[in-house]
Structure 1
Amino acid sequence: MFQGEETIVAEGPVLLTYGEGIANIQLNRPDAGNGFNIELMRALQDVTMRVHGDRRVRAVILSGNGKLFCAGGDVKEFAAKGAGLPDYLRMATAYLQVCVSGLVNLEVPVIAKVHGCATGGAGMGLVCCSDLVICGKSARFMAGATRVGMAPDAGATALLSKIVGFRRAMELVLTNRFVEAAEAERIGLVNRVVPDAELDAEVLALARQMAAGAPRSQGATKRLMWNGIGRGFEASLPDEAREVSALSGTADALEGLAAVIAKRAPQFRGE
């Protein structure tokens, strides 16, 4: 576990702090609504790679600094590129794909803490690629891409329909209407809505719960769940059997069984 809290990236478009086995990844372009540009995407990729393979990390909290979680792409910067925008976006979307793929492939649970708005390809994409999503009561969500003549990215075209259903996903990406927090919870876009003033505490409590879990078990479960999104039921069975068999020989599995029998809380070490 971490001793205290260590700031890894003190300045820049993405901040990373460690504490209590939790990596806090925070988008840090508040003046631009945490809108994505290439610099932010590069920083997010770097921070995600730092977290990968760090066995001290048991959970990740993904958040935004300032008034918004993420306003999507930086529209003003995009517009300023003029005729060079297609080349810029080719590079930007390549970075974005690496970022969301990196978050999905982290071996630990990623919890999105959403306040303000999560809009556009990047904002909705980060919500869709997180394992768990908690939002404040005033949070709002919008797809937004077709509003500026573009198409959804960050994996949203594949994931959003899996999360909320095909017809509703099609409506959201074509109409670009705002989804209020209560509806987001009802349709399954988020796991839970909490009062704005309680958002930090609720997310930290959930992250602590995840950090106390068996890391290899949670990593395998997360991997199976994400792999299962695009596969049929029967195709997932061999992978499940292989992971369960491998996990059953770990110290954490034996500790979990012993804890249940002894009616005590397990002490998982990830060994």
Structure 2
Amino acid sequence: MSDTGGRDDVLLDIAGGIARIRLNRPAASNAVDAALLRRLHEVALACHADPSVRVVVLSGEGRNFCAGGDVKTFLSKGEGLPDYLREATAWLQLATAALIQLKAPVIAQVHGFAAGGAGFGLVCAADLVVAGEGARFFSGAVRVGMAPDAGTTVTLSRIVGLRRALDILLTNPTLSAQEALGLGIVSRVVPDDELAASVDALAADLAAQPPLGLAATKRLVWDGLGSTVAARLPEEARVVSELSGTADSLEALAAVIERRPGVYEGR
């Protein structure tokens, strides 16, 4: 299935249980404006509504994943910029939350630059991040007199720790893919010419796994960000018990015992 919603700044294709969301402003390095962010939210909601979606891949067309906010558009707003940014950041917040709250795991496929709230921030909000070896990561908000958004002030500190997060957000280094891997911002680094194939293989592997188990694991981890281990133990026990009564769980156990691939229906 392909859905443009009448616009082509964010593309959505769904096939074989994999939803592919592609930022599509290559001439602007996929820099975002309010209209694109509103569309990204619509696309994320479409993934929520489609029960066939088991994995989401987020990528960018052209030379870069996403250059962040469209600073030329921002500058053109003049005195109206605060109102415009309230609208744009509201849509970014909604889109980010929708991706985090998806049952399906979200893979960020990163090449070129991932910068600003809509680039670096969306990377930090993904469940898995696969980067080409030439990818670069950059926060950049304070350099244009602004502050991080897309939840980065929470997600980045959870990923790399308080001191490193403050260093990255305040001094704005450009991180290589290997540096981002060392900090835990990136899950895997692969040769640039193998990026698409590597993400396709990972997405296919996840799409073949029991979807209820994936969804429950994702939810437990994200919901536990501000929790203690002791506080999470009862919820983990509840979810494990609940999953054990599903058809997928019984099929997974049988598949392991019989040494065969499982066939999962999400029930």
> With structure 1 as the length reference, what TM-score do the two structures score?
0.96
Secondary structure of the residue aligned to 1:193 is: strand
Deviations 1:26-63 (A, max 9, x none): 00111111111111011001101111031111100000
Tell me which of 59, 81, 84 is aligned to 2:80: 84
| Unaligned segments of structure 2, at least 5 residues | none
Instruction: Please name the residue that 2:130 is paired with.
Output: 134
Measure, in 2, the Cα distance between the counterparts of 1:40 and 1:11: 9
Task: Indicate the residue corresponding to 1:106 in structure 2.
Answer: 102
Deviation at 1:90? Answer: 0.8
Question: What SS is found at the alignment partner of 2:129?
Answer: strand
Mapped partners of 1:98, 1:121: distance in 2? 13
Residue of 232, 256, 259 corresponding to 1:260: 256
CA distance in 2, matches of 1:117, 1:28: 14
Instruction: State the SS of the aligned residue for 2:186.
Output: coil
Counterpart of 1:160 in structure 2 is: 156
Aligned to 2:174: 178
Q: Which residue of 2 aligns with 1:241?
A: 237
State which of 196, 210, 224 in structure 2 corresponds to 1:200.
196
Structure 1 residue corresponding to 2:9, chosen from 9, 13, 37: 13
CA distance in 2, matches of 1:96, 1:150: 15
SS at match of 2:49: coil
Indicate the residue corresponding to 1:120 in structure 2: 116
Inter-partner Cα distance in structure 2 for 1:90 and 1:65: 26
Within a 5 Å distance, the mapping from 1:9-88 to structure 2 comes to: 9=4, 11-88=7-84
For residue 150 of structure 2, give the secondary structure of its aligned residue in structure 1.
coil
For residues 41 and 118 of structure 2, the distance between their equivalents in structure 1, rounded to whole angstroms, comes to: 14
Q: Which amino acid in the other structure matches residue 215 of structure 1?
A: P
CA shift, 1:169, in A, is 0.9
Secondary structure of the corresponding residue to residue 59 of structure 2 = strand
Letter in 2 for 1:83: E
**Amino acid of the structure 2 residue aligned with 1:241:** A
Q: Which residue in the other structure is 2:217 paired with? A: 221
Query: What amino acid is the match of 1:150?
Result: M
The CA RMSD over aligned residues, in Å, is: 0.9
Compute the displacement of 1:162 (Å): 0.6
Moved over 4 A (4+): none
Match of 1:231 in 2: 227
Q: How far 1:11 sits from its partner (Å)?
A: 4.4
In structure 1, the partner of 2:146 is 150
Unaligned runs of 5+ residues in structure 1 are 1-5
Equivalent AA in structure 2 for residue 7 of structure 1: S
Secondary structure, counterpart of 1:60 in structure 2: strand
If the length of structure 2 is used for normalisation, what is the TM-score? 0.98
Whole-Å separation in 2 of the counterparts to 1:211 and 1:262: 21
Indicate the percent of aligned positions where both proteins have the same amino acid.
56
Whole-angstrom distance in 2 between the partners of 1:259 and 1:121:
42
Number of paired residues?
Answer: 266
Which residue does the alignment assign to 1:3? none
For 1:55 and 1:84, how far apart are their aligned partners in 2?
Answer: 41
Residue deviations 1:162-184 (CA, integer Å, cap 9, x gap): 11111111111011110001111
Residue 212 of structure 1 pairs with residue 234 of structure 2: no
